[in-house]
Amino acid sequence: MGAWKTVLRIWTTASVVCGSAFSKAFVASVSRTIILDEAPYYLPAEPVLVLPGLVSFDTGILPFTVLPSLGGGKSIQALSDDWTAVDDVFSNGFMQAVMFQQPFSTLSQSTIGFLRDQAVTVLTNNASSSLSIPTLHLPGIDSLAPGPYVLAPDQTGKSAVYTSLRLHFDPSQSFYKSTTQKSDGSFDVVSASLDTDSSPYIGVPSRIYDLDAKEKPLAGLRVSVKDIYFLKGIAASAGNRAFYATYGVRNVTGPAVSRLLDLGAHVVGTTKTVQFANGDRATGDWVDYHASFCPRADGNREPSGSSTGAGTSISTLDWLDISIGTDTGGSIRGPASANGVYGIRPSVGAISLDDVVPLSPVMDTGGYMSRSPKLFSKFGKEWYAETFQSYPSFPKTLLMSTDFDVISSAAMDVYNDFVNKLQGSLGGNTSGVNVTREFSISALWNQTSGVGMPVQSFANATYPTLIAFYQWNNVGVPLFKDYAALNGGRNPHINPQVKFRWEFGESQGIEDYNRELERRETYENWTMSNFLLPDAESCSESIYMYPINAGTYSSREDYTSGNPAIPFGFSSSRASNLGRLPEVVIPIGQIPFNSTISGIEEQLPVSISLVASRNCDFMLLDLVDKLADEGIVREVKTGRTAF
Q: How far apart are CA 356 and CA 368, in angstroms?
A: 15
Residue 292 placed within a domain: yes
CA distances from residue 443 to 382, 435, 458, 578 in whole angstroms, order as listed: 38, 17, 14, 17
Reference 519, options 616, 473, 453; nearest CA is: 453
* Whole-structure pTM value: 0.95
φ, ψ (nearest 5 deg) of residue 147: 140, 180
Q: Read off the CATH number of the domain in which 285 is found.
A: 3.90.1300.10
Q: Find the radius of gyration of the CA atoms of the chain.
A: 27
pLDDT band for position 427 (50/70/90)? confident
The β-bridge partners of 454 are none
> pLDDT higher for 135 or 335?
335
Q: Are 535 and 395 in contact (CB under 8 A)?
A: yes
Reference 182, options 54, 10, 382, 31; nearest CA is: 31
Residue 285 placed within a domain: yes
User: Does position 317 have pLDDT exceeding 50, yes or no?
Assistant: yes
Q: How far apart are CA 313 and CA 563, in angstroms?
A: 30
Please enumerate in sequence order all residues whose Cβ is within 8 A of that of 330, keeping only pairs 6 or more positions apart, or say none.
279, 304, 345, 573, 577
> pLDDT higher for 372 or 113?
372
Average pLDDT over residues 472-496: 98
DSSP state of 540: E
Half-sphere exposure of 409 (CA within 13 A, CB side): 0
Q: Are 268 and 224 in contact (CB under 8 A)?
A: yes
pLDDT band for position 158 (50/70/90)? confident
User: Does position 510 have pLDDT exceeding 80, yes or no?
Assistant: yes
Domain stop point among 162, 179, 201: 162
Domain stop point among 142, 162, 182: 162
pLDDT band for position 113 (50/70/90)? confident
The number of folded domains in the chain is: 2
What is the distance in angstroms between the CA of the first residue and the CA of the last residue of the chain?
42
Based on the domain organization, do 151 and 197 belong to the same domain? Answer: no
Looking at the chain, the number of H-run helices and the number of E-run strands are: 17, 26
Q: How far apart are CA 626 and CA 422, in angstroms?
A: 10
Q: Are 152 and 162 in contact (CB under 8 A)?
A: yes
DSSP state of 556: T
Based on the domain organization, do 189 and 156 belong to the same domain? Answer: no
Please enumerate in sequence order all residues whose Cβ is within 8 A of that of 519, keeping only pairs 6 or more positions apart, or say none.
458, 459, 462
Range of the domain at 199: 166-370
Q: Are 518 and 265 in contact (CB under 8 A)?
A: no
User: Does position 207 have pLDDT exceeding 80, yes or no?
Assistant: yes
Residue 273 placed within a domain: yes
Based on the domain organization, do 272 and 134 belong to the same domain? Answer: no
Residue 565 placed within a domain: no
Domain stop point among 353, 370, 387: 370
Residue 9 has a pLDDT of 64
Based on the domain organization, do 200 and 304 belong to the same domain? Answer: yes
Residue 14 placed within a domain: no
Based on the domain organization, do 342 and 251 belong to the same domain? Answer: yes
User: Does position 13 have pLDDT exceeding 50, yes or no?
Assistant: yes
For 569-598, the pLDDT digits (tens) are 999 999 999 999 999 999 999 999 999 999
Based on the domain organization, do 150 and 184 belong to the same domain? Answer: no
Q: How far apart are CA 90 and CA 505, in angstroms?
A: 52
- Whether the upstream peptide bond of residue 306 has omega within 30° of 0, thus cis, is yes
Q: How far apart are CA 369 and CA 332, in angstroms?
A: 7
Based on the domain organization, do 175 and 147 belong to the same domain? Answer: no
Residue 396 placed within a domain: no
Residue 322 placed within a domain: yes
Residue 2 has a pLDDT of 43
User: Does position 23 have pLDDT exceeding 50, yes or no?
Assistant: no
What DSSP line would sit under 464-488, residue for residue?
Answer: HHHHHHHHIIIIIHHHHHHHHHHTT
What DSSP line would sit under 241-263, residue for residue?
Answer: HHHHHHH-BBS---HHHHHHHHT
DSSP state of 404: G
Based on the domain organization, do 307 and 353 belong to the same domain? Answer: yes
Based on the domain organization, do 152 and 195 belong to the same domain? Answer: no
Half-sphere exposure of 318 (CA within 13 A, CB side): 10
Based on the domain organization, do 171 and 306 belong to the same domain? Answer: yes
Residue 96 placed within a domain: yes
Displacement of CA 336 from its chain's centroid (Å): 11
Based on the domain organization, do 189 and 148 belong to the same domain? Answer: no
User: Does position 631 have pLDDT exceeding 50, yes or no?
Assistant: yes
Q: How far apart are CA 278 and CA 306, in angstroms?
A: 6
Based on the domain organization, do 204 and 348 belong to the same domain? Answer: yes
